[in-house]
Structure 1
């Protein structure tokens, strides 16, 4: 992101913070007693170069941050859900496609289910046995999936949300997590996008209205204090 854009965003955030705080926004939802990690679309179609969905800062920020979180979650035997997106019918002229109407806006037809390499989770943060791999069809990880029921059955009250993109699938997942009664924590260094400024703006807005934005360090510190689950 250019210095000029960063300066403009900082000025906008300063002004918005004054307005928000005056009117009672930017409250804290806080960490709960049992968290789950929801990793959104950190699959090859988003993490590897040359694809329509490729995002920025994958190698230098998001993957290293995710590796730290995964290590901390696994050490405590806490739930981990790797979310990805793919479609059985990618013919845009087929009225029975599972893409719904989304293909009229973005190239979701690129993510065909029969090309598993595209929608497989990046090897650097690959799921281990016992970790959920959830396929979604819409932006939110909750819409039309079993995620909420799975989390409730596991006794989860907090979700740490990571992945891409800040402006779409991460944001809608955070919003729906709040709506479903979970405490949403967006992990700052583990969220990306492909458009300059999109991460900064969406994280600022999420922190004001829908969940808390916390650093990897803060999240790992919180996880390390929890008792290991059996």
Structure 2
């Protein structure tokens, strides 16, 4: 999936999976998954189903973290986003648009939900501190949208030193063209893009190693 021009330019390395993963599920909330709730939504059904398989595999290996993007009723915290995309005003905290998609296997007893107002899951949240304090050395990424909050979070994960691994069938976008081009961009420069099946095998290997140690 890496771009040949970027390979020729020196972006030819590969990130190595760590020993303590975390799973970041970005903005699989009803405002992005249900067309009746918000015009921002797209069909995320298959991506959510694949993400649930990752969630099951992550249990006991490391943190499972969900994000929800939303704004106050008066939109005082939306910043410049309102000028660029007025539909973001549908993401009002406390409404259906800011609820996790009910198809997700979220476990309130163990999982964490982070609330954010910007694209990156790291911006204005304690995510980096949570990953560091948990000893995480790799970040598995799922969610929406591929070209927006997923990509922004992957770039920041790389910058914060948490190698990101994007499961390409666990992310979704309104635009197929942007979905494809951003997967290529992330694979070339900012992380590893793999199938959920490949990541499930990696997680199984990590679990086996943890049980030995």
Same fold (TM > 0.5): yes
Q: Contact 2:140/2:166 (CA < 8 Å) preserved in 1?
A: yes
Runs of 5+ unmatched residues, structure 2: none
In the alignment, does 2:33 pair up with 1:53?
A: no
- Secondary structure, counterpart of 1:149 in structure 2: helix
Moved over 6 A (4+): none
Shift of 1:143: 0.4
Correspondent of 2:21 among 35, 40, 45: 35
Structure 1 counterpart of 2:52: 67
**Larger Rg: 1 or 2?**
1
- Distance in 1, matches of 2:176 and 2:48, equals 19
Please, which moves more after superposition, 61-70 or 168-177? 61-70
Correspondent of 2:30 among 44, 57, 60: 44
Partner deviation per Cα, 1:146-170 (whole Å, 9 max, x = no partner): 0000110000010011111111100
TM-score (norm 1): 0.85
Structure 1 counterpart of 2:138: 158
Runs of 5+ unmatched residues, structure 1: 1-12, 92-96
Q: Say what the alpha-carbon RMSD is for the aligned residues.
A: 1.6
Shift of 1:89: 3.4
Correspondent of 2:184 among 182, 204, 212: 204
- Secondary structure, counterpart of 2:171 in structure 1: strand
Structure 2 counterpart of 1:88: 72
Correspondent of 2:5 among 13, 19, 34: 19
Q: Contact 1:90/1:99 (CA < 8 Å) preserved in 2?
A: no
TM-score (norm 2): 0.91
Structure 2 counterpart of 1:118: 97
Partner deviation per Cα, 1:97-144 (whole Å, 9 max, x = no partner): 0111211111221111131x2211111114201200010000000001
Count, aligned residues: 206
- Distance in 2, matches of 1:202 and 1:183, equals 17
